[in-house]
Amino acid sequence: MSNGPVLITGGAGFIGSNLADAAIARGRECHVVDNLHNGRRENVPSEAHFHQIDIRDAEDLAAVVGESGAETIFHLAAQADVRVAVDRPTFDADVNVLGTVAVLEAAREHGCAVLFASTGGAGYGEYPGLPVPSPETAETRPLSPYGASKMAAEGYLSMYGRLHETPTVSLRLGNVYGPRQDPHGEAGVVAIFCGKLLDGEPPRVFGDGLQTRDYVYVGDVVEAFLAAEARMPAGETINIGCADEVTVLDLVEGLGAGEPVLEDARHGELQRSALANDKASDLLGWEPAMAIGDGLQATLESVRAHRSDPNSRAPGALEVASAETG
């Protein structure tokens, strides 16, 4: 297992800051690169070295990567809002494609491995004949610029492996939820429902509420990134999900969020999505550990704790877990 410094792009965001906490807890020197576009400075652990730069500033990025001495770059910085991507596709491609190329160039120059946060559901899309849960061998047919930019970025990762022998792995994440979640992300619905519940308001559900997603707990996703770093199956693309279809109504019930208010279905939303996870088990020895009911309660607890003290750092998956055991 590697013990050298790590660099996390997007480390002021939801998943990246939970990953930074875990890396530090394992005694790793940790560098965070984030332009704070929507990440929060206070999410970055105080033990981490914070570099406020845009990944598209290739020269600055390469300089920071070189100075950090990082062996591994966890590349999570992204334009991750599907609706922004539809409204501003060139901005989405700029951050997600050109930004990723800048990260890969810095990695090539300084001999780093790159682990990339890609997407499952937005990558596969939905079409007749797509198996659900979807295996990595299924054709990707994205239905949004966000899905397309992530698939393009995956192409650059594998190409850098072939052309420059840069060790790269793409993890296709399910709908990640958990402590420190931002309501605007792909799985933002969990954070939104938690907020409504604490406000004493009913959850709003679009369509019949039977649309399914593969909700995977942020603590499990962090473990998948660290397992991918340790085992480094270079050149691989691996789904990280629970292989379970969970409906929006299941979330409402799991949170005890009350009777939902049903609203018109949203155009272009996928009806079903789940990710096969046998490859993650085979190549990474990874399996999701958190049951959805427990994960939802942990998320609710973290939102509640943060609301009671909004100036504090929102608790992450590690703090929530230690509060439960201690």
Ligand X SMILES: NC(=O)c1ccc[n+]([C@@H]2O[C@H](COP(=O)([O-])OP(=O)(O)OC[C@H]3O[C@@H](n4cnc5c(N)ncnc54)[C@H](O)[C@@H]3O)[C@@H](O)[C@H]2O)c1
Residues binding ligand X (CB under 6 A): 10, 12-16, 34-39, 54-56, 76-80, 95, 99, 117, 119, 173, 175-176, 182, 185-187
Lookup: tokens for 282:
């085979």
Distance CA 105, CA 92 (A): 19
- Residue 247's φ and ψ, nearest 5 degrees, are -85, 165
From the candidates 146, 156, 160, 217, give the one annotated as an active-site residue. Answer: 146
- Whole-angstrom distance, CA of residue 67 vs CA of residue 53: 14
DSSP secondary structure letters along 5-58: -EEEETTTSHHHHHHHHHHHHTT--EEEE---SS--GGGS-TTSEEE---TT-H
Q: What are the tokens at 40?
A: 């929060």
Using the 8-state DSSP alphabet, how is residue 275 labeled?
Answer: B
CB of 53 to ligand X, least distance (A): 7
12/65 with CB nearer ligand X? 12
| Residue closer to ligand X (CB basis): 93 or 197 | 93
Distance CA 110, CA 65 (A): 7
Annotation marks residue 124 as catalytic: no
Q: Closer CB to ligand X, residue 182 or residue 244? A: 182
**Residue closer to ligand X, measured from CB, 44 or 257:** 44
Continuous segment of H or E residues that includes residue 224: helix 218-231
Shortest Å, Cβ 12 to ligand X? 4
- Least distance (Å) from ligand X to the CB of residue 41? 10
- Nearest to ligand X of 186, 223 (CB atom): 186
Handedness of CA 227, 99, 134, 216 (dihedral sign): positive
User: Catalytic residue positions?
Assistant: 146
